[in-house]
Amino acid sequence: MYKKILFFLLLISVISPVFPASRYAKKLCSQDGYTCYRVKRGDNWESLFPDQRDRDIVRRLNRMNTELYAGLTIAIPKNLSNIDHMSISPFPERIPPVGEKKVVINLTYQAFAAYDAYGYLVHWGPISGGQNWCPDVGRRCTTPTGRFRIYHKRGADCISYKFPVDKGGAPMPYCMFFYGGYAMHASTLPGYHASHGCVRMFYEDAKWLNQDFINVGKNGTLVVIQSI
């Protein structure tokens, strides 16, 4: 019996990141400066935040672009009217320059940063990386960490023919491949890591990166993926 209980606890520890308890909002709710709001029936992003600027900031802070539902908790900054997109970045405004553009993806922050060749932060956005465990393939499917270069990209018509398994594939708009079949691309972000290893982004962020920032080929844009 003890072995069965131990196995069950280990199983929970492996698959727990797919549950809402790991939402990024939970981290924010434990910090000063945020109000935690429990979504009520009939609430949606537009009704709670009629101003598009406010709506975008709260979505980015919660690492979410999925629809709201009753019972969900989101974090709302108390100084919402006094902040903007760049002021809520979890990344430094400047890093030591490396002489080329660089995308930094931090899995702990659940966010990416785009730096120019001089080390200045020019854009950032939320991400959703790979789950610890994917039931459909029966294995871990975390996002690889390390240094990579973008070797291929496609536009709004990019599609995955592998995942979800037995579902006929799924859209991957503005995909940017950095390692094997792993890519950054536009998709849904539920506020926690939920992919098969790819790096999901808001649609507008993936489009901007794909069209205005990323280079491919021998001198493909440097991508650094961190877990801390």
Domains delineated in the chain: 2-83 (no CATH), 88-226 (2.40.440.10)
- DSSP, residue by residue, 159-214: EESSSSTTTT-EE-TT-EEEETTEEEEE---BSS--BSSSEEE-HHHHHHIIIII-
* % residues pLDDT > 70 (the chain): 87
Pairing of strands 121-128, 111-115: antiparallel
Tell me what the mean pLDDT of segment 131-145 comes to.
89
Token look-up 């809402």 returns 20
Mean pLDDT of 19-38: 84
Instruction: Flag the least confident range among 26-30, 63-67, 211-215.
Output: 26-30
Q: With 80 as the cut, is the pLDDT of residue 4 above it?
A: no
Q: What is the mean pLDDT of residues 186-205?
A: 96
